[in-house]
Structure 1
Amino acid sequence: MACLHPPDWIEARPYQQDAIRSWLDADGRGILHMATGTGKTVTALLAASHVTRSLDGDLVLVIAVPYQHLVDQWAEDLADFGVDPILGYQSRRNWQPRLERELLEFNNGVRDTCVVVTTHRTLSMESARKTLSRGNGRMMLIADEVHHLGANHTQNALMDEFSLRLGLSATPERWYDEEGTERLSSYFGGTVFDYGLEQAIESGALCEYYYVPHIVELQADEMEEYMQLTEKIGRLFARQDTGGDFEIGENQSLQTALFKRARLIGTAREKLDLLVNLFKRESDPSHSLVYCSDGSTGLDDGGQRHVDATTEQLREECSLTVERFTAREDQAERERLLSAFEAGEIPVLTSIRCLDEGVDVPATRTAYLLASTSNPRQYVQRRGRILRQHEDKKYAVIHDFITVPDTSRHPEVLSDDQYDAERTLIRKELERVTTFAESARNHPDADISGVPTTDRPLQDVKRRYDLLTA
């Protein structure tokens, strides 16, 4: 009897059926490019169920995920399909003996299917790959958040033994890594199905949203440090002698300068004051997420963590129950926080990156983006998580804090280098604004709205820096 039986209560949506059909038509290879929140996990398991039926079992199924908590989530989903998978992470002593035993049973015809859920890192290790290669039947790889596998240190997970290959991601292209993106495309056979955010909203898979950008100014001393870091980054880029074909991660000095500049933008002092004012005007602050910078407040690294400062200021000035959801909280505490947030017992969660991939918070009604990288993957993932459907939510509201130079300074009094640096900063912020605004319920006005109580519309900033077409 074949494994992987879909439960009666799971019925594939039409777009999920189309995705599975596209993958099967491509001979069981390809990447599903689907918006966050559209059910990539269920789609993949339904595809695997189809394979086990057609093969009458006889399948070694390996599901690879980027983080350990996602191993547990996939195991829960597999339980609905009648599967008790091998969880291949942490110490090998906890899972290697069972894997070897089940592969032996599989090879001898005693077991028709062997299912493993592991991390990208573990699958990249020689020991895991060597053990899996002993399987004699068909092998299938489901790669969740497949873009992670394009990194140099995880590409070993892309084993030739997997004749069936299914990649999943809302953002399959790797940022600033054409070689890694091409490696994934070559291995999986490219993207075979696209299902974007607008389609997901139209079909009801995701909820509609309002997008409200707010201008936050870098003050004079913050802008001075921004200029210094920008000049340093320019010098480091200029020193590269590789014809432009290099990975930023290989240059530690460049990587450090880029991180410092991103953190400076993320922790701009004006952001917390604006955040407090927004919460004070909010009649119902429940089910709110606040995404903070991973840096510290102040212009040096000795300041308070931005997430801590944000949490404390909201508690003190708004009299709210606010809890942190970060890497410092263990799995049990995270589950408690999410449960309390869902129930409305904790109205506000502050986070850094832990809510970016793999954590479901469908009850979220309002999100405040204090900090975002210029990497589209991060803010696209965040938006998809915020837009997940929930019975108590008609739509979502996204407040985006747009960082610009002090607008009291006029471009005509700046040097060419200063003007170019400020214009580059604004242009990068506008790329995110455009992405968010184009699918918003209040588009086309979203991208020109400023803070309602101030006279600093984004349109004026665009005009000042000749970016009206950006």
Structure 2
Amino acid sequence: MKGWKSTYEPRDWQNVALERWKEHNAGIVQVVTGGGKTVFAQLCMLDFFSSESSGQALIVVPTVSLLDQWCLALQDELNVSPQQIGLLSGQERPRGDEPIIIAVINSARRFSSNFAKGRRVFLIVDECHRAGSPANAKAMEGNFAATLGLSATPEREYDEGFSTLVAPKLGPIIYEYTYKEAARDGVISPFSLTNVHVDMLPDEEDQYRRLSKSIARSLRKGSAGEGQEDRLKWLLQQRAAVSANATMRIPVAIKLIEAHRGERAVIFHERILAANTILASLLKRGHRATIYHAEIGPEVRRDNLRLFRKGHFDVLVCCRALDEGMNVPEASLGVVASSTASQRQRIQRLGRILRRAKGKESATIYTLFSTEEEKNRLQTEASNLEGITTVTWQQSRVRADA
């Protein structure tokens, strides 16, 4: 399209991957979060539109936060005008004639197939592992002139949806770019990880222990008995919630931000109520902080994200809505106040802070944990990152009995 031009010089891996994609105008690229997969998709778009001037691109994303991110990135990084972008979500509708339409996958299920009829459409599915369920796979239905899948972790953890639903529509994995390669090439910032043990309050510990005993009893029973599997799932969710909502995670997260006052920081928490509490406390202490979560209107969300990136705020407090959808390379400090057991979520959150930016020499990530289960996952991660970064362990000085 006239006037569109990438503001980035392509990296070596992007040039190699682009040539592979151009062989069939199809395929999936597996790239570590922060490695430049969105910019790579933009390069593919420029190539597509160079020969398909009347074509259109349909970008399918899993969440409204990622819709926001793409909307900003296309304007800031590819010089696309807002009028050339249509947005499809539960809150917004496109005209339909825009060169680029960004659609949340829930809405794209009922849109993609009809949209592709009689058009030359380039389908891009970001975080394409999310399209691996029968319901979400409907967003990939239709005859497309070109396809591209993007994900740091395209294979799904608990089913065969990638091989049976995603790859047949988008093509095979044509390129992989790992943490090790990104660190070697200087694509992601040098970083350090610090895992901080946070005490639970006595009543929280008691509740956690009781749930653990119930889980053990349920596991001993196995699948015998009607509803046992559902009960086990419920117990695991309840126990995870006790840990994620541990009261002391909030003051410990705030103290870490206080120790790094003035640094560009992102705080991740699982719960909106806790995120709001953290924001209120930071504002009371004089921090320039803002917030981003799914319950905020789309215009305000985008403004908060843009203003944080431009330096009007130092701290961004966010919930899971940003795991797949935030590009904040300016942030050099991450505090994971609470998290789930998902390895994919962990990769996403690390990647948010590891992106390169002008003047950013390194990144620091603190992860708060309260349980042995969390500690074991972090120890496994530390082993996998050996030779890439340093991992240290601390006991929080903010005590539950203080």
- Scaled by the length of structure 2, the TM-score of the pair is 0.82
Cα distance in 1, alignment partners of residues 143 and 218 from structure 2: 41
Q: Which structure 1 residue ranges, 5 or more long, are not aligned?
A: 103-112, 242-250, 296-304, 405-421, 455-470
Task: Pick the aligned partner of 1:261 from 228, 232, 239.
Answer: 239
Offset, 1:201: 2.8
Q: 2:282 & 2:72 partners in 1: Cα distance?
A: 35
Per the alignment, residue 306 of structure 1 pairs with 274
Aligned partners of 1:383 and 1:439: how far apart in 2? 17
Matched, 1:74 2:70: yes
Normalising to structure 1: TM-score of the pair? 0.71
- After superposition, the Cα gap between the structure-2 partners of 1:171 and 1:450, relative to the gap in structure 1 and judged at 3 Å, is same
Contact 2:329 2:354 in 1 (8 A): yes
CA contact (8 A) 1:403 1:429 kept: no
Quote the residue 2:88 is aligned against: 89
Amino acid at match of 2:275: V
Q: Relative to structure 1, is the Cα distance of residues 74 and 376 closer, same or farther in structure 2, using a 3 angstrom cutoff?
A: same
The answer to whether residue 16 in structure 2 is matched with residue 39 in structure 1 is no
Task: Verify the 8 A CA contact 1:85 1:117 in the aligned structure 2.
Answer: no
Of the candidates 438, 441, 463, which is equivalent to residue 386 of structure 2? 438
Q: Does 1:208 align with 2:190?
A: yes
Question: Partner of 2:270 in structure 1?
Answer: 293
Residues in 1 aligned to 2:59 and 2:309: alpha-carbon distance in whole angstroms:
28
- Alignment match, 2:147: 165
Question: What amino acid maps onto 2:394 in structure 1?
Answer: G
Contact 1:291 1:368 in 2 (8 A): yes
**8 Å contact kept, 2:199–2:370:** yes
Tell me the equivalent position of 2:21. 23
**Cα separation, partners in 2 of 1:29 and 1:233, compared to 1, 3 Å:** farther
Residue 64 of structure 1, CA deviation: 1.3
Q: What is the distance in 2 between the residues matched to 1:24 and 1:266?
A: 45
Distance 1:342 1:133 in 2: 35
Q: Could you tell me how far apart the structure 2 residues matched to 1:88 and 1:332 are?
A: 12
CA drift at 1:399: 0.9
Residue by residue over 1:24-79, the C-alpha shift from the partner in whole angstroms, topping out at 9 and shown as x without a partner, is 33x222111112223222212222332344x4546443221223354454355556
Aligned equivalent of 2:138, options 153, 156, 173 = 156
- Give the corresponding residue for 2:208: 226
Cα distance 1:71–1:453, how it changes in 2: closer, same or farther (>3 A)?
Answer: closer
User: Structure 1 residue 434: deviation in Å?
Assistant: 4.2
Q: Do the aligned partners of 1:31 and 1:191 also contact (CA within 8 Å) in 2?
A: yes
Q: Which amino acid aligns with 1:158?
A: M
Mapped to 2, the partners of 1:48 and 1:338 lie a distance apart of: 24
Structural mapping, 1:55-454, within 5 Å? 55=51, 57=53, 59-71=55-67, 73-75=69-71, 77-78=73-74, 80=78, 85=84, 87-90=86-89, 94-95=93-94, 98-99=95-96, 115-125=100-110, 128-135=111-118, 138-162=120-144, 164-180=146-162, 182-233=164-215, 240=223, 255-280=233-258, 282=259, 284-294=261-271, 305-315=273-283, 318-342=285-309, 344-404=311-371, 424=373, 426-434=375-383, 437-438=385-386, 441=389, 443=390, 446-447=391-392, 449-451=393-395
Q: Name the CA distance, whole Å, in 1 between partners of 2:90 and 2:201.
A: 49
Asked whether the equivalents of residues 5 and 49 of structure 1 are also in contact (C-alpha less than 8 Å), the reply is: no
**In the aligned structure 1, how far is the partner of 2:90 from the partner of 2:316?**
32
1:360 is paired with a residue whose SS is coil
Q: Which is worse superposed, 361-370 or 183-192?
A: 183-192
Partner of 1:411: none
Which has the higher mean CA deviation after the structures are superposed, 381-390 or 231-240? 231-240
Deviation at 1:451, TM superposition (A): 3.5
Q: Which moved further from structure 2: 41-50 or 391-400? A: 41-50
What does residue 412 of structure 1 align with?
Answer: none
Conservation of the 8 A alpha-carbon contact between 2:30 and 2:177: yes
Q: Distance in 2 between the 1:331 and 1:220 partners?
A: 40
TM-aligned CA deviation for residue 256 of structure 1: 4.1
CA deviation profile, 1:416-466 (whole Å, cap 9, x unmatched): xxxxxx5x454234334445x43654x2xx15x334879xxxxxxxxxxxx
Q: After superposition, what is the alpha-carbon deviation per residue over 1:74-100, rounded to whole angstroms, capped at 9, x for unaligned? A: 3555563667546251479953xx53x
Residue 150 of structure 2 aligns to a residue in which SS?
A: strand
Q: Which has the higher contact order (CA 8 A, sep 6+)?
A: 2
Kindly state the Cα deviation for residue 142 of structure 1 after the two structures are TM-superposed: 0.9
Stretches of structure 2 that go unaligned for 5 or more consecutive residues are none
The verdict on how the C-alpha distance between 1:294 and 1:8 changes in structure 2, with shifts beyond 3 A counting, is: closer
Question: Bigger shift: 13-22 or 217-226?
Answer: 217-226
Instruction: Tell me the C-alpha RMSD between the 2 structures.
Output: 3.5
| Residue correspondences, number | 391
Amino acid at match of 1:323: T
Residues 255 and 453 (structure 1), Cα distance of their counterparts in 2 relative to 1, 3 Å cut: closer
Aligned AA (2:264): H
Larger radius of gyration: 1
Identity %: 24
Provide the C-alpha distance between the structure 2 equivalents of 1:167 and 1:330, rounded to a whole number of angstroms: 28
CA contact under 8 A between 1:357 and 1:381: conserved in structure 2? Answer: yes
Deviation at 1:176, TM superposition (A): 2.1
Q: How much has 1:130 moved relative to structure 2?
A: 4.7
